[in-house]
Structure 1
């Protein structure tokens, strides 16, 4: 064999592309292992080592911050080719300990840094995930944990991880709605001392970012990340998927396009990454910045300052956060502008509700209160089936359900004292509490938001912008004019994945949201499942969904949702029914839930089992599977008139039954509160709340079961 054990790139040749130090590659005689030394800051992880059949040439693909570079060499020559080429992220077969290079070569002491080369010639399967929000990170960690020798690559279009908790999306004072202990992976608790968080307090946004970074490092998927890579087109192939990508790295100008292929694909693009920005007639002499709330962190230092007035358009949680940040500055004020044609102010609740002072998050994940919500995927056998049938199938039961929602809504209004001041009354939700969905948020501010409203620091106006005029003037449709220093549009997000799909018609096949009217067959199916839902849950049909408390009586019964909007049509809110036999694509986090951490964990295990073939397929016909998918997704569209179910599943009190359904599919019992005398402890099950801690160790349980059954890794 003519291979040299040491092949060296000169400093000059290396710097011509990297402007960095040299790299040394050690190739063993049996070509089954290699060692790489480098101290270059942009060199992240080697990806693959490939040898030609003649064994006279080797190629090494290396992942850098600027893309994937191929190094090619042979027995007598070496050349560096700066090409953006994809070959896949290979698993760690073994960690090769690097020894100090030969002293005759010009190496700095820093170049003793040990690197891992990921070589696995036998396993050709590759899984890719797109999106590094909580769901994407959790899916990657679970997949890697179950299949440590399978290849995985995680793509992210931005330069940082975390989705809405990425460092560029947060600002001082921002916190989670969750109190400590409810926003953590079940197998990676958010330690109070480690992350400087306290029990009973909302978690600061920067601590969430820190936690997610620590989780990535702890689970060993940090070497699988590729930031600054935007997927633009998803193309379905005969076998697997092809991704058309664009590098967003600043080094190469953000225009380097390349193509990747994968056998398995998880899209975890989130729901809050494509801003919906209104367009107003604007004078060229209008001076203030007009931005979307997604860009508020970037402009925070200039907008959040003393003696300013900020116009905040919208009434969702981000609008409240921006208004609070601005109005708490010395001599500064904010105006919340709420359009009359929308859903109105969201339900903003204190962390603790009801006369008993119950923790709202825990109340939502307590089965007894969950029984008050109709739910087609809930368990209908045993005690739970009996009580749900009583509550939603009988006249008396429906009276109890109606009273519960009335009491819950009245309690929030009284705790916030909304009706005690003419200005706070403008923030009273227009629809009843049953309709809230995830148009529900928590008062997580250090001081009372409503005091700012009562003091005039935050003004609430029900109107819309007519135009942005000359100087600092904004004119409203009602004729009012105001001077502003900035305009922040907290106007929500576009639905869907934000990707192009090939071939034509693939979006419908994948069950993606659309504003196109369904075809005749699908329209008939929608009407059929609606009839079942209204028959099974009469309260869903008879309830008042109008904007009963709208300040303008003439608008109380007008429609606010787009009748053409069709939601995600995914089985278990995870996979297209059309893919069930192929097991090649899944959508993680294509829903809203108050229990995101637990939901991400259970979805990740479900998808991992689905991809490797250890998740049993439903023993029903394809027609029945499609029917169940439409029933569950159409229920979400009908359930919350204030929510987002017409675009994607919107789960609050339906979250725990959804977790139970995922557990049932995996062969687990979702009721995990223990036994009494050999029977389910229904007292604990009904009145003790669930949290991430109740699912701790589930991945280990699954692995032991699969290994014990001899299932192995069928498709991975």
Structure 2
């Protein structure tokens, strides 16, 4: 570490707009940078595997700052509650260096991967590879360039931070930073439900964002009792109507169990509603949404040849169609019918597997082909969200939005004018970028971490390139052009404006359906980038990097026209939802390593359905070391 000092203020504001030069970058190739200090911010999955890879590659000063008390990120100990299952089967979401140990309380018959499994895995991973490397309960307040004059060995970055529960703000210098803060860090709270709006409305119950749900369960349960808790409650009374709507209602408020309203239709909203309505809690739960997440499910678990192979990636159009089967599927009339038909068939089969009728509000779901909001339910579970909603144990108001609080302090007003009972509110309304609080506006702009319009090409510059994609015909309506801009991040890893400085990278911001494989592959790309490995192919200039990101942005506007306004920058530096195999192939190609079927197996007849296992990238570090030795001997 280059420097350490204590200060009394949390942020330095510059009065000019100069991007100061970095004096230490010229020596990078001679030292291979292994002595340079690196700060990894975040102890979620991406942060943990990034730190491990950097340490294995010989970096001698790798530190991890985490604002949490334990590792795991979204699966950190204080955020996990029972009954939450993620979009993976047991053993799927892991890294190549560690098998997934069985959680002591896990039911061997349950094939779904739970949040508790993930928490247990990341704690084991940390204890095995990163013991004493993580500084917990540490909030990063600001990251900035140092201001001249420098001493003889200046850091590239100055980081202001504070230990939880203490007022003192400290500073530390680092040569390299990896942002692994993810996109589920800073709650997005609609203005109508902000703390100021709650206070002004006189609403009497708790209003809690889903990120705090686990920590504030007792607060919710103190306000809303189990359904049927009071024996004198009339069974004919609709619990979801405001109290004033109950004619002749003479019961006191203390004799009413109350209602929890969950605002949102995403996976977090579904998990929370199911948890509250399930056996053992049995609260009155109402869920309000315009659209809910799409889901995939069948009567039995699908084969790994479907779930873990390249099949779904090939069925989803990619900006580069490198194989004959992809060109057939996405550039011919018959191929388009096959692709769109298979996605529609999968969606219909999923609804059928849960016996959801056509008129059900559960059918108000995203289209799987065009959406990023798709969950893998695997197969029907008796206590899942859809089953509980079908049984009437979760009341649904849809398609509507909650627009504000009622005048009685115990209700919500919906966009259709209806008023519903609410004694507690959970906002499953998503997250904002985690980067905006780490950098001041000047540094954000210099580095290039915001959302930008095209600099070198107009918005329609690439229209002709993908015009022949028949599978992308008849798209949903797109948002306004200025809401379609995305982060200017090369490969979703390095801010294009900063790419020549080799002192900042990102892991965990690429939106995909196979995080374990993507995060681990990315960690090797980042390490080679910091080492300036001569075999790593990167743009030769900032302009070339920006032009590459503009092309990526144009593709994403074409591929997901109504989705980009929904994502935030730190969760959408690139979007490789179904196409993660093609994306990781690109990263491997950048590192001059084997990719495609040469790495994951299969021949010209079987490669499409060959399951892609995490062990396929187990020896990336050794492969890169061999290339490094070859380069040094030339």
TM above 0.5, one fold? yes
1:603 Cα offset (Å) = 0.6
Q: Distance in 1 between matches of 2:600 and 2:524?
A: 25
SS in 2 for 1:418: coil
Partner of 1:90: none
Q: Distance in 1 between matches of 2:412 and 2:396?
A: 15
Residue 577 (structure 1) aligned with residue 496 (structure 2): yes
Counterpart pick for 1:232 among 127, 134, 141: 141
Contact 2:141–2:159 (CA<8 Å) still a contact in 1? Answer: yes
Q: Distance in 1 between matches of 2:623 and 2:105?
A: 28
SS in 2 for 1:245: strand
1:407 Cα offset (Å) = 1.9
Partner of 2:40: 129
1:287 Cα offset (Å) = 2.0
- Closer, same or farther in 2 for the Cα pair 1:674/1:564, shift >3 Å? closer
Partner of 2:128: 218
Contact 2:146–2:158 (CA<8 Å) still a contact in 1? Answer: no
Counterpart pick for 1:156 among 63, 66, 69: 66
Counterpart pick for 1:487 among 386, 407, 425: 425
In the alignment of these two chains, the number of paired residues is: 554
Q: Distance in 1 between matches of 2:310 and 2:285?
A: 40
- Closer, same or farther in 2 for the Cα pair 1:123/1:293, shift >3 Å? closer
Largest Rg, 1 or 2: 1
Partner of 2:157: 242
Counterpart pick for 1:607 among 495, 511, 526: 526
Which shows bigger deviation, 641-650 or 682-691?
Answer: 641-650
SS in 2 for 1:349: strand
Partner of 1:591: 510
Residue 453 (structure 1) aligned with residue 397 (structure 2): no
Structure with the bigger RCO (C-alpha within 8 Å, sep 6+) is: 2
- Closer, same or farther in 2 for the Cα pair 1:291/1:168, shift >3 Å? same
Q: Distance in 2 between matches of 1:409 and 1:263?
A: 48
SS in 2 for 1:141: helix
Give 5+ residue unaligned stretches, structure 2. Answer: 7-32, 148-153, 228-256
Q: Distance in 1 between matches of 2:206 and 2:412?
A: 12
Partner of 1:83: none
Q: Distance in 1 between matches of 2:607 and 2:177?
A: 36
1:673 Cα offset (Å) = 6.3
- CA-based RMSD of the aligned residues comes to 3.2
Partner of 1:348: 295
SS in 1 for 2:139: strand
Residue 528 (structure 1) aligned with residue 461 (structure 2): yes
1:321 Cα offset (Å) = 0.7
Partner of 1:692: 614
- Closer, same or farther in 2 for the Cα pair 1:431/1:211, shift >3 Å? closer
1:535 Cα offset (Å) = 2.2
Contact 1:438–1:593 (CA<8 Å) still a contact in 2? Answer: no
- Closer, same or farther in 2 for the Cα pair 1:699/1:545, shift >3 Å? same
Q: Distance in 2 between matches of 1:200 and 1:700?
A: 36
- Closer, same or farther in 2 for the Cα pair 1:535/1:480, shift >3 Å? closer
Contact 1:365–1:656 (CA<8 Å) still a contact in 2? Answer: no
Q: Distance in 2 between matches of 1:428 and 1:633?
A: 31
Partner of 2:369: 434
1:123 Cα offset (Å) = 7.2
Counterpart pick for 2:318 among 365, 368, 375: 375
Counterpart pick for 1:338 among 270, 275, 289: 289
Residue 618 (structure 1) aligned with residue 545 (structure 2): no
Which shows bigger deviation, 229-238 or 272-281?
Answer: 229-238
Within 5 Å, which residues of 2 pair with 1:50-449?
A: 124-147=35-58, 150-192=60-102, 198=108, 201-219=111-129, 221-237=130-146, 241-250=156-165, 253=166, 255-280=167-192, 281-282=197-198, 285-303=202-220, 306-307=226-227, 308=257, 309-329=259-279, 331-339=282-290, 344-350=291-297, 352=298, 358-359=302-303, 363-377=306-320, 380=322, 384=323, 386-420=324-358, 422=359, 425-442=360-377, 447-449=383-385
Q: Distance in 2 between matches of 1:319 and 1:123?
A: 44
- Closer, same or farther in 2 for the Cα pair 1:349/1:642, shift >3 Å? farther
SS in 1 for 2:213: helix
Contact 1:236–1:502 (CA<8 Å) still a contact in 2? Answer: no
Q: Distance in 2 between matches of 1:631 and 1:502?
A: 28
SS in 1 for 2:585: helix
The one-character-per-residue Cα deviations of 1:584-616 (angstroms, maximum 9, x if unpaired) are 110111122110111111011110111001152
